[in-house]
Amino acid sequence: MTAVERSNLVKAAARRLGLDRCGIAPAGPIEHADFLGRWLATGYAGAMEYLHRHQASRIDVRAWLPWAKSVIVAAMNYNQPSLAGLTEDGRRGRVAMYAWGEDYHVVVREKLEALMGELRGLLGEPFEARVCVDTSAIIERELAAAAGIGWIGKNTLVLHQALGSFFFLGEIITDLELAPDRPEPDHCGSCTRCLEACPTAAFPEPHVMDARRCISYLTIEHRGEIEPELAAKMDDWVFGCDVCQAVCPYNRRAPETTEARFRGRLDAASPLLEDITSWDEAAYREHVRGKATARAKGEMWKRNAEIAKRNPSGPAGGR
C-alpha cells in the first residue's frame, strides 16, 4: 500500500468515526520552531512553568518519539448556541464553550483510539502509534496547521474556513509512512476583530498572546489574587473566555456540533454566582465531575465568581 493510499484510508476511517476534520503532517520540526523560546523568554507564559519543560519535543515530536514519521491530526467541532442569560433566577457567570459538556480529553481520546484500532485492522501491518489530546509536550496548533486542518489566526488559535475555531484537536503520532497534506493559507487578511475585542488587551501584536493578561489564563491557571485592573475587565467569566473567538467572522457561519457529549446544560455553561460562592468541597466536585472545568480548583471558582459579582451586570463581549 502506498503512502497516499494509507492516508486516504486514514481519512475515510476518521470520517466514519465522526471526526470533523483529519489531516496528515510529517513528523519533524514545526514551522515556527524559534518562536517558542522567544515567547517563553518574554515571560508571556506566566506561571505555566510546565511550558518551559520538554521544549525539544514541542519543537520536534521525534525528540520524544524517535520512531515517529507522521502525525495524524483530527478536529472535533464543539460549537453550539449560547446558553447564557436564559433565566431570571439570579446573576450567572459564563464558562467557555469548550467546557460545557463532557471532558473533551476523554471524548477525543476515545475517538482517536477507535481510529487507531480500526487502522490496525484495515492496514494489516504492525505499526507504532501514540494518541495525544492536549496533555503531551507537543504544540498541537502547529501540527494542525502543518496538517492542513486550518491556519493559525491572529488570536493564536487554529481557524478553518467552514468550521471556524470552536473545535478540539487530537493527534496520533505514528511510524506509518503517510502522505502529508498541504498547509492551509492564512485567510485572516486585514481583519483584527479578535485583537480589538479582547477585554484585557492580551495580544501585544498579531499571533502573540500575553497569557498573563488572558481571561482564560487568569480564571483557570492563575493561583492567588488577580490584579484589580485585570479583574475589572473580566466581565462575568468564571472559567475561560470565548470573546476573541465569538467575534471572528468564520465562527458566525460555523456548523453546530453533532457530538451530543459536548453539548452543555445551562448550569454548566452559565452557573449561578451565588451557588459557586457557597460551594463546599462536595458541591464543587459534583459540579466539575467528568468535565474539563476540574482544571480550576474550588477556591479559584469562588474567586472568579466574586470578581464577576463586583463587575457591572451585562457582559462587554462574547456570545
State yes or no: pLDDT of 26 exceeds 60: yes
What are the backbone dihedrals phi and psi of residue 51, each rounded to the nearest 5 degrees, phi first? Answer: -70, -20
State yes or no: pLDDT of 318 exceeds 80: no
Question: Which DSSP symbol is given to 76?
Answer: E
Please tell me the distance from the alpha carbon of residue 266 to that of residue 268, in angstroms, as a whole number: 5
Residue 108, number of CB atoms within 10 A of its CB: 26
What are the backbone dihedrals phi and psi of residue 213, each rounded to the nearest 5 degrees, phi first? Answer: -105, -5
State the Cα angle at 53 between 47 and 55, rounded to 5°.
Answer: 120
The CATH topology of domain 3-80+101-174 is NADH Oxidase (3.40.109)
Model confidence pLDDT, tens digit, residues 216-268: 999 999 999 999 999 999 999 999 999 999 999 999 999 999 999 999 999 99
What mean pLDDT is reported for the chain?
A: 95
State yes or no: pLDDT of 306 exceeds 90: yes
State yes or no: pLDDT of 77 exceeds 80: yes
pLDDT at 319 (0 to 100): 42
In the chain, domain spans: 3-80+101-174, 193-310
| Segment 37-59 mean pLDDT | 96
**Do the beta carbons of residue 69 and residue 174 sit within 8 Å?**
yes
pLDDT at 102 (0 to 100): 98
| Segment 116-142 mean pLDDT | 95
Hey, what amino acid is at 42?
A: T
| Segment 85-94 mean pLDDT | 76
| Segment 47-68 mean pLDDT | 97
Hey, what amino acid is at 45?
A: A
| Segment 55-65 mean pLDDT | 97
Q: What share of the chain is helix, strand, coil (3-state, %, to 5)?
A: 40, 15, 45
Catalytic residue, from 20, 34, 60, 134: name it. Answer: 134
Please tell me the distance from the alpha carbon of residue 172 to that of residue 113, in angstroms, as a whole number: 9
Find the helix or strand (DSSP H, E) in which 12 lies.
helix 3-16
pLDDT at 25 (0 to 100): 98
Known catalytic membership, residue 236:
no
pLDDT at 84 (0 to 100): 63
